[in-house]
Structures are given as structure tokens and as C-alpha cells.
Amino acid sequence: EAGVAQSPRYKIIEKRQSVAFWCNPISGHATLYWYQQILGQGPKLLIQFQNNGVVDDSQLPKDRFSAERLKGVDSTLKIQPAKLEDSAVYLCASTRGEAGGATGELFFGEGSRLTVL
């Protein structure tokens, strides 16, 4: 079974530029998450999708971050314009679970490391 795929693995941009990250979850996984992991901290949930609908985006800075999951499979996370404090690893995860239940075992990709100069 193929794992969660993310790209690019590394990205360096200057502040005020834009960047996009892509995630392909495990086949058949209905729920997809984007987490932000700042150095020395635990992953922070940015957005959770159930199929192609948003379940929770309460911690997504919507003035600069956007995410979509067209057709309920792949997802992209965009930052525009980037700030210095956006430097972090962006982790994508997926799970079989349906909203309202399930065991919540997340399968993570290797992450996309963003450096904003």
C-alpha cells in the first residue's frame, strides 16, 4: 500500500512570495489533514477535510492560507503572501475514518519543509 505522498520536500522563498504544497493521501482514505509543525513544537492542525468538504478550518489563517481538496482525493495548501513565521514543516495526513467516529490512526507523509527568508 502506497503511503501519503507530499511535494515538494523542501522549499525556500522570500517573504511576501507565494507557495503551494501538494498531498496525495492513501487510496480510499476519506479524511485528510494538514498540520503545521514549527521547529520544537508539536503538529498544529490547520484544516481537516472529509472527502472534499471542510470539517474544521478554525486554526487556518484564512487571510493568507487556503486549501482545497477537489474530487475528494488530492489536496493543495497555499500560502500567499508568506511571512517569516510561516517557516515550518507542513505535514499531510490521512485516515480511513468517517466524521463522527473511527479510531483516528493517522498516516503521515514525510512533510514539506518551508523556509521563508
Partner 1 sequence: AQSVTQLGSHVSVSEGALVLLRCNYSSSVPPYLFWYVQYPNQGLQLLLKYTTGATLVKGINGFEAEFKKSETSFHLTKPSAHMSDAAEYFCAVSDQDDKIIFGKGTRLHILP
Q: Using CB under 8 A as the criterion, which residues of the chain lie in contact with partner 1 when the complex forms?
A: 4, 31, 33, 35, 40-45, 48, 55-56, 91, 93, 95, 97-106, 108-111
CB of 62 to partner 1, least distance (A): 18
Q: How many Å apart are CA 26 and CA 7, to the nearest integer?
A: 15
Nearer CB in complex with partner 1: 31/116? 31
Identify which of residues 17 and 30 has a Cβ nearer to partner 1 in the complex: 30
Give the integer Cα–Cα distance in Å for 56 and 3. 23
For the CB of residue 55, give the shortest distance to partner 1 in the complex, in Å: 8
Asked if residue 8 lies in contact with residue 23, where contact means CB atoms within 8 angstroms, the answer is no
- Closer by beta carbon to partner 1, 14 or else 53: 53
Residues 6+ apart with CB under 8 A from 69: 32, 49, 51, 52, 75
Could you tell me how many helices (H) and strands (E) the chain has, helices first? 0, 11
Q: How far is the CB of 36 from partner 1 (least distance, A)?
A: 11
